[in-house]
């Protein structure tokens, strides 16, 4: 079956660095994405890794190891507005019709 596991909750203080892990087991794999969702809001795209290694986008970085079926999202210089849920998602399916399978989600709480 398909599964993407994430820690349910992570807490940190402003200015800190936090890492959210994602391990996956899916029938197909084109890449690993990360989305942020504030309460009651729409998920927004953060990053995408198709190949092994680290992708950096401002304060956020994402890592992928395909051999380990593992990835993580690294958030640096945490701000209060980073309090949200973070989902990893695997792209799978035939090219052009790729769908996302979402992880269980991690709730990040940033305190002053």
Partner 1 sequence: GAVVSQHPSRVICKSGTSVKIECRSLDFQATTMFWYRQFPKKSLMLMATSNEGSKATYEQGVEKDKFLINHASLTLSTLTVTSAHPEDSSFYICSAKMAEKLYEQYFGPGTRLTVT
CB of 30 to partner 1, least distance (A): 7
Q: Give the footprint of partner 1 on this chain (CB under 8 A).
A: 30-31, 33, 35, 40-45, 48, 50, 85, 87, 91, 95-105, 107
CA 60/CA 19 separation, integer angstroms: 10
Q: What is the DSSP letter of 18?
A: E
Q: Which residues on neighbouring strands pair with residue 31, listed in sequence order? A: 91
For residues 2 and 79, which CB has a smaller minimum distance to partner 1 in the complex? Answer: 2
Residue 83 in 3-state DSSP? Answer: coil
For residues 12 and 100, which CB has a smaller minimum distance to partner 1 in the complex? Answer: 100
């Amino acid at each position: 079956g398909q599964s993407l596991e994430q820690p349910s909750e992570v807490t940190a203080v402003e200015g800190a660095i936090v890492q959210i892990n994602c391990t996956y087991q899916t029938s197909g794999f084109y890449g690993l994405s990360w989305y942020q969702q504030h309460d009651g809001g729409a998920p927004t795209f953060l990053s995408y890794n198709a190949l092994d290694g680290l992708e950096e986008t401002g304060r956020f970085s994402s890592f992928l190891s395909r051999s380990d079926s593992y990835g993580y999202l690294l958030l640096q210089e945490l701000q209060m507005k980073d309090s949200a849920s973070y989902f990893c998602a695997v792209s799978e399916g035939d090219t052009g019709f790729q769908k996302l399978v979402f992880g269980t989600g991690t709730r990040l709480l940033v305190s002053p």
